[in-house]
Each structure stands twice: as C-alpha cells, then as structure tokens.
Amino acid sequence: MLKKRSDGRYQKTVTIIEKGVKKRKYFYGTSQREINKKMVNYKDQSQYGRVFEAVADEWEEEHFKRIALSTAKGYTASLNRAIKYFGNTPIGQVTSQHINNFIWDFAQTGKSYKTVANQKLVLHLIFRHAIIRGDIKNNPVSEITVPKNLPKSERELPTEKEINIVINSVDKPFGLFYYMILFTGLRRGEALALKYQDIDKEKGVIHVSKSLYHDSNKAVIKSPKTKKAQRDIDLLDCLKKVLPDQNSGIVFANHNNQWLSFSQYRSFLKRYQKETGLRITPHQLRHAYATMLYEAGIADKDAQELLGHAQISTTKDIYTHISKRQKEKTAQRLNDYVNNLDL
C-alpha cells in the first residue's frame, strides 16, 4: 500500500517472510520510482547478501584485531585488490567460476606463487566470514587451485593513473603521506616517524634516523635495524613546495599531536582510500620511487643509499626487475606500432 506522508515523502508497506517469520517492511522515497528501486535493492540483498565490499570491510574490521600486525600487513594488498575487482557485486552472486577467472587472470600478470596463494587465502577468509554472517551458505573459493610453476617473486608497481591520483590528491586528508613516500622512497614506518625538525628545507635534505613500529595498537619509535637505513635523502622541489610551513612537531600526527596508533593510521588510510578510490600500499609507492631513480639514471650504489638498503644486491635486484619490465614495455610498444602498419 502506497501513501503520502505529511513530510512530502511516500511510504509503501509490504509484508515479507524473512527466515520463516512474517513481518512488515516499510520503504520510503520521494517518488514511486525511488521506492521501487529500494525494494529491488532490498530484495537483491535478501537473496544474494550484501555487496562484496561491505562484507570485506566488515571482515577486515573484525579479523585484523585478532591477528598479528605483520599478518595484517600481508593481507592488505590482497584485500584491496579483491575489493577493487568484486566491489559492488552482491557476494551471493560471486561464483566459483568468477573466483577462478580472477585468480588465473591475476596469476598471468607475472605474480609469484606466494602472492597468488595469499590472494586466494584472503578471498577464502572473506567468504567464510560471509557464511558466518548469513550472507551466503557455501564458500566459492573452496575448490579453487593456484596455478603451478609461477615465479618465486615479483614487485607490483602502481599504474601511471594511480601515480597521477597520488600527485593530484596531496591536499586531501593524509594525501601528503602518500605523496611523500612517492617522492622520497621512505618506508612506511620511516615516514610516520618523521618530525619537521628532520626536514632541512634550506639544504634540501631529509634526515632519516628512526622508524615507527606498532606493538599491537601502540606506536613505538625505534632506531632503524641497520646503519644503512640511517641516511639523508634529497628533498625534491615538488615535495618542498607542498610541505606545511612548520619547524617542529610530528609530520603525521593524530589530533593530539602524538604518534599515530595502528587504529588511527588505518582510519586515516581508509578515509584517503574512500576519497581517492586508491587501493595501493606505501610499499608499492616505494618501488615507484625506485623506478624513478632507475629512469633518471641514478647509479645502483647511490640508489642503495637513498633507499636505505643494507645490501647492494637488493638494489641491483630491483633495478634488474625494472629493466626487464621496461624491455617488455618496449617490445609491446613496438608490436603495437607494427600491427598498426598497413602491411
């Protein structure tokens, strides 16, 4: 039955049976069309459960509290990737075939066996959570297998589009954090531990002498594990221009001007992700910085000092990977060019 309320909105009352219980459900809207849309969405949710992103966010909120911080960090990239792919799809409509296609397509992009297996694990945990919450009855990941003979390791870089979003989002809440890592190559903990006293604008140098770790939820400041991690890095002009005009205090502080706890850090991170749509990690941006060093012709020994690698072999390994990727891109561009010729 549809009726108009005193506030100008329409109300429709329907009788539904939910879990064997008959009850009334009320839908409100400014028009019949809006009400019908809400009824369809409600029906879809009742039949297929909530959208994947809502379930995944809920799983993250609950599960990350019960696991080690290092484990949570290891899950983050896979979680972001899954949300980006399945997003607004009702979780009950995601089939084993969809999961299989996603896993195999992901594996074909040069990812390591460990990374693909971790992606499958995170999906399995999310769908298991959906079963517990009553969204679905069966886990579509159970019968999925990870392709064999995958490479042992890889480094995933943000796309050019994602890098442009980071650059153009520096003024957004927590945008400076992402921007700084992109143009300094700092580790996440090194960036979180920065004070304005560590930034010498006149000499164009950032002094890296400490790192922030999280013991459970508490922020702990420690010296870097190696001497190489204690270093001076160049303060690029683009970063210097966007830094606040401050001489003291924590760069990335909470509202009480204290170090960020893990929950506060994640809160800032989630807000940034929501406003920008980005689902990339600080570690990916660190590798984007390494790519800039390579493309700028910075010698591997100098890059080692800027990145704070304890071993030169780590830097050379990254440079080798970048070189291989650049050659693949060149080959693809050449192929595209030749294929467009009238031969």
Q: Would you write out the chain's pLDDT as a tens digit for each of its 343 residues?
A: 677 777 778 777 776 555 555 667 767 788 878 877 766 666 555 566 788 999 999 999 999 888 877 788 889 999 999 999 998 889 999 999 999 999 999 988 878 888 899 999 999 999 999 999 888 999 999 989 998 887 765 556 788 899 999 999 999 999 999 999 999 999 999 999 999 999 999 999 999 999 998 877 889 898 876 777 889 999 999 999 999 999 899 999 999 999 999 889 989 999 999 999 998 888 889 888 988 888 888 888 888 888 888 788 878 877 777 777 677 777 777 777 677 776 6
> Does residue 38 contact residue 61 with C-beta atoms inside 8 Å?
no
Q: Are 276 and 164 in contact (CB under 8 A)?
A: no
Question: Which amino acid belongs to residue 252?
Answer: F
Report if pTM > 0.85: no
DSSP state of 229: G
Q: Report yes or no: 275 and 173 within 8 Å, Cβ to Cβ.
A: yes
User: Which residues are registered as beta bridge partners of 14?
Assistant: 25
Asked if 138 and 250 count as a contact pair (C-beta separation under 8 A), the reply is no
Distance CA 209, CA 283 (A): 19
What is the per-residue DSSP string for 3-20? EE-TTS-EEEEEEEEETT
Distance separating alpha carbons of residues 275 and 289, to the nearest angstrom: 23
Question: With 0-12 CB in 10 A as exposed, 13-18 as middle and 19+ as buried, what is 329?
Answer: exposed
pLDDT tens digit string along 230-275? Answer: 899 999 999 999 999 998 999 999 999 999 998 899 899 999 999 9
